[in-house]
Amino acid sequence: MSVEQSPPFGVRIGVRSYEMDVNGHVNHAVYHQYGEHARMEHFRAAGLSQHALGAHGLTIVLLSTTVHFRAELRAGDELRIDSVIAFSARKPFTMSHRIVRVAAADGARTDDLAAEVECTLGVLDTTTRRLVADPHGRLVAASSDPALLGPGPDVSTS
């Protein structure tokens, strides 16, 4: 099955002191929140706010998420969270995030991969409460900037 990917999208955030665990680094659950923040910002930039989706009788649901931890993050670090959406011929689609430390708390410039977040998502019809077929097409129809969603699936090789 061939999967096409959208161009990367990214947001920047700073690590806050209250996100630390007893070991002095970012708590594992916070990485999921970083991925969620990047997802919501990516969809918002594409014109797919909850309000816009709701006007089309749709919402996006998270079906699964996995985080692969690569490096510690500490309070004061600056992060870039990139995201890429990939659609296939199936109802679920994927969104991948790379959490990269771009500056350490001491101000040193870095480019350290801190984590990779892999998510499986679906587009839910809010009336039937079922995943829709052709999630890419449905999102494009609701979007004000469909280029941020990337190409749809290559169904000729799926």
d(CA 18, CA 54): 33
pLDDT in tens, 32-45: 999 999 999 999 99
pLDDT in tens, 36-84: 999 999 999 999 999 999 999 999 999 999 999 999 999 999 999 999 9
Mean pLDDT score of the chain: 93
Domains, the chain, ordered by start: 4-143 (3.10.129.10)
92 pLDDT band, cuts 50/70/90, is very high
Q: Residue 26 corresponds to which tokens in the numbers above?
A: 């970012």
Q: Are 81 and 35 in contact (CB under 8 A)?
A: yes
